[in-house]
Amino acid sequence: MRVGVDIDNVINNLSPLLERSVKKHFGNKWTLWDIYQRYHLRDALRLSVWEELWFWKKFGLEIAFHSKPQPYCREALHWLRRNGCRIYLITARPIIMKPMTLAWLEQHDVPYDKVIFGASEKGKICRENGIAVMVEDSDKNIKNLLQHGVTTIAIPYPYNSHFRSQNLFYLADWRAIANLILQMRFRGA
C-alpha cells in the first residue's frame, strides 16, 4: 500500500522556529495561535504578499533546515515500511530545495521510497501514483485531496479544522497515524 506524506508541519515541526522568527521580524505580540489561524502568514498576520515573500526569503531555509521531526514520526514511518507500506513524500517545496531536503531526511533518519517536489495538486498526484492515504496539514491540499476521493489524515492545526468528511481523520500523534494506516492496510485498502 502506498502512503503519501507531506513534509512541512507533518514530518517536521516548524512551530518553534517559525514563532521565534515571526516574533523577531514582526514583533513580540504574535503568538503561535495567531500565526496558525490561517495557513498563509499573509492571511494570519495581515501582511502583503511581498512582506510574506521577504520573510520566507530571509528565514525560510533556516526554519526548514533546523526544525526537528515530529515526535514518533521517524519510528512510525519505519514501522509502516516494515509492514509493507511504501512512503511517498509529496511536498510543495520547489525542486531547488531538493538537496537540502534530502540531507535533512538523511540527517534525521526519516525513511521514504520516493519524493515528489513542486506538488500543487496533491489529489491528482495521489491518484496518478496510486496513493491509498495521504497525511497532510494544508487546508488547500486537504480540500483538493477530498475532491479527488483520496482518504486523508490531517494533522490538526487551527487553519485546517473546518473540514468534515467520511474520508478525513484528524490525528495529531504519529503513533495513532501509523496505527490507523495499518488498520486500513490489513482491511485491504
Binding positions for Mg ion, rule: CB under 5 A: 6, 8-9, 137
User: Nearest distance from residue 155's CB to Mg ion, in Å?
Assistant: 8
Q: Which residue is nearest to Mg ion (CB)?
A: 8
Pick 13 or 185: Cβ nearer Mg ion = 13
Distance CA 11, CA 8 (A): 6
User: Nearest distance from residue 112's CB to Mg ion, in Å?
Assistant: 15
Pick 85 or 137: Cβ nearer Mg ion = 137
Closest CA to 141 of 77, 65, 90, 89: 90
Closest CA to 122 of 12, 3, 2, 4: 4
Q: What's CA 142's distance to the chain center, in Å?
A: 11
User: Nearest distance from residue 55's CB to Mg ion, in Å?
Assistant: 17
User: Nearest distance from residue 6's CB to Mg ion, in Å?
Assistant: 4
Pick 8 or 19: Cβ nearer Mg ion = 8
Q: Residue 121: is it exposed, middle or buried by C-beta count within 10 angstroms (0-12/13-18/19+)?
A: middle
Pick 151 or 160: Cβ nearer Mg ion = 160
